[in-house]
Each structure stands twice: as C-alpha cells, then as structure tokens.
Amino acid sequence: MKTLGVILAGGNSTRFGEDKSLYKIDGKPMVEHIADIIKASHAADEIIVSTNSRLKTAFNYETVTDDDRFTDKGPIGGLFAAASAYPDSRLLVVSCDTPYVPARWLRKLHDAALADSETLVLTKEGDRIHPLIAVYQGQDLAESLEAQLRTGRLSMKAFFEHRKTVILDAKENGVPKDALVNINRRTDIL
C-alpha cells in the first residue's frame, strides 16, 4: 500500500485573517514547511494538498478539492476528498497550520500504521487528541468518511470513535509540547 502525505489546507482561516497555508514563516509558506517535514520523515511516497476550489492552483503539489456534495465541511471533507481520489493509499495527514511537528514523529505514526492496514493512528498530547496529525487508512475509509459526512456530524472525534484506532502519546515519546501547536492566530507563531 502506498503512503500519501496529505496536507490539509482547505480552511477559510477566518481567525487568522488570511490563508494560513500561504502565510510565510521564516520566508516560506506554512504549506511548504509541512511538505518539507513530510519529505524529511521518509514516510510518504507522494505529497498532495487537500484544499478548497478557491486555492486549488495555489500550491506546487497535486491538489484534490472538496467533493461538490460536501463543500466547506472542514477536515473531514478534506479527508474524504483525499480518500476518494486515492482509495488504495494510506493517508499520512498533517494540517497546514502545524509547521513545527517533527519529521521523526510522522515517521513513528507511519511505522505504527504498518502493523495493521485497517487501524487509524492518532497523535495524543496529554489529554488532547490531534486528529490532524495522524494516519488514516482502511479499505472502506472513503465510504466511512462519506457516511459520517451524510450524518451532518463533522466532528473528527465522532468519526474515529467508530474505527479501530491506536493513539500514540507524543509527550511520552519526547515530542516537545510546542511542536504540536496549531496556528490559528499570528500570536501562535513561535
């Protein structure tokens, strides 16, 4: 099974005030930070960006956009778009607004996913689950995501509650807390 690095970059960045994925940190767009981290992990065979139709030409990578039936449905809609376009792939998912996640952590998630191709591998930090730094896989992944979207419940937690999951604790594995920061406002940038 091929592993696809999926950068989720389809949000509207309303709290940030401009497209986070294109915002430059140290002279480089956040999406490129994530792509470099995925490349450095040596865990993905290919990188794509899951985005909205407004941004579909903004990236230097192949893009998938929201299914017309499920536009603006958040991360679960972006995952569905990727899973539908690449049904035979394992999805190593990283949101574009987590530019400090260590490559070694992505590799650890990926390696854990190799043990069972039907299991989701999620990141945990203390009591907090980071469902957008994870591996999503399974023969029925796209169908399950579509079924969740049809319920109208867009919660990632609601989705993975009904899937076989492994949750790895980043803190227990030496990942610094700041490494998993989710940038929603400019003040979140380290």
Q: At what angle do helices 30-41 and 103-113 cross, to 10 degrees?
A: 50
Sole residue written with tokens 């497209």: 19
The residue among 60, 51, 44, 48 whose CA lies nearest residue 19 is: 51
Whole-model pTM? 0.93
Superfamily of domain 2-188: Spore Coat Polysaccharide Biosynthesis Protein SpsA; Chain A (3.90.550.10)
pLDDT tens digits along 125-162: 988 999 999 999 999 999 999 999 999 989 899 998 88
Instruction: Provide the 8-state DSSP code for 21.
Output: G
CA 182 to CA 137: how far, in whole Å?
Answer: 23
Per-residue three-class SS string for 100-129 = CCCHHHHHHHHHHHCCCCCCEEEEEECCEE
* DSSP H or E stretch at residue 158: helix 156-160
Q: Quick one: average pLDDT of 30-50?
A: 96
Bridge-based pairing of strands 46-51 and 62-65 is parallel
The domain ranges of the chain are 2-188
Indicate if the pLDDT at residue 184 is higher than 80: no
**Residue whose structure tokens are 């394992």:** 90
pLDDT level of residue 17 (50, 70, 90 thresholds) = low
Report the half-sphere exposure of 160 (CA within 13 A, side-chain side). 21
Annotated binding site for Mg(2+): 97
Indicate the annotated binding residues: 8-10, 20, 66, 97
What is d(CA 24, CA 112) in angstroms, rounded to the nearest whole number? 32
What are 98-114's pLDDT values in tens digits? 999 999 999 999 999 99
* 186 or 2, greater pLDDT: 2
Please report, in range form, the residues annotated as the binding site for GTP.
8-10, 20, 66, 97
